[in-house]
Amino acid sequence: MKKWVKETPKNLGAVQEKIKKKWDIIVSKDTIKRILKCLGMKWKRIRSRVGGKPEPELYKHKKQILKALKKLSNSGAIDLRYLDESGFCLTPYVPYGWQDKEGLEGFESSKSKRINVLGLLNRKNELYSYIFETKINSEIVIKFLDNYVQKIDKMTVVVLDNAPIHRSKAFQKKIVEWQEKKLKIFWLPTYSPQLNLIETLWRFMKYEWIEAQAYTSWKHLVEYVENILKNFGKKYTINFA
């Protein structure tokens, strides 16, 4: 039964049919749910799949450096910022299904019209962001950092992943120029979104702060996203322990 549920984690009706076919027994969904709980499974959101695993030694090394950078940031010596892009669409799809307690991977979000956000966040809930209705490419990220570097007054370290738009030739050519203006880039190891603090902001926005009525129209969705970004650090905050 556990194997069948993992094959169709959102459809207990299919499990009912297999039970009847296998053992000629008719059971209710409530009975199946009680059995699943006894088997250590629970109904919860299915997490997005990460495409692979980071190289262990590099991951450990990068994590140690991040820890040191965090201490420097806490002391005020530097400003440690986390950069990332995210998109919001009119489909409020938060997939849930019966899973083992450690979780189930495999969900990939569908594509639709999106409002895209590019942000730089630190642990003090200070956010620098822009909204785009176009796809975010390397040129946009470069302009975003060019604008931001004009605002900094201390050494700033920007943490970001290895997405192609962050590794383009045009982006690489800007690194020395940004360093001269007190902005350094810190690359995360591959497949390590959990090390990028701003991922927490995207989760809060998508699963807690954007209310159901935001999805009634494109205009409402844009207004909700803009309002959260505008009031982040005041009305909307995250406790980064």
> In the chain, where does DSSP find H-type helix?
2-7, 12-23, 29-38, 56-75, 138-149, 169-180, 198-204, 218-231
Amino acid identity for residue 31 in this structure: T
What residues contact 76, with CB distance under 8 A and at least 6 apart? 154
pLDDT of residue 96: 52
45-49, 54-58, 67-71, 195-199, range with the lowest pLDDT? 45-49
Asked whether the predicted pLDDT for residue 110 surpasses 80, the reply is no
Residue 105: φ, ψ to 5°:
-105, 165
Q: How many residues does the chain have?
A: 241
182: exposed, middle or buried (Cβ count in 10 Å: 0-12, 13-18, 19+)? middle
* pLDDT band (50, 70, 90) for residue 45: low
Q: Of residues 58 and 7, which shows the higher confidence score?
A: 58
37-41, 124-128, 140-144, 230-234, range with the lowest pLDDT? 37-41
What residues contact 212, with CB distance under 8 A and at least 6 apart? 92
Domains defined along the chain, listed by start? 2-39 (no CATH), 56-231 (3.30.420.10)
Judge contact between 15 and 1, C-beta under 8 A: yes
pLDDT of residue 131: 96
What residues contact 5, with CB distance under 8 A and at least 6 apart? 12, 15, 32, 36, 41, 98
pLDDT tens sequence across 61-105? 999 999 999 999 999 999 999 999 999 998 765 555 556 665 544
pLDDT of residue 108: 41
**How confident is the prediction for the chain on average, in pLDDT?**
88
What pTM was estimated for this model as a whole?
Answer: 0.73
Measured between alpha carbons, how far is residue 54 from residues 85, 106, 188, 192, 194 in Å?
A: 20, 18, 10, 7, 11
pLDDT of residue 2: 84
Query: Smallest Cα–Cα separation from 62: which of 51, 50, 54, 53?
Result: 54
pLDDT tens sequence across 153-195? 999 999 999 999 999 999 999 999 999 999 999 999 999 999 9
pLDDT of residue 75: 96
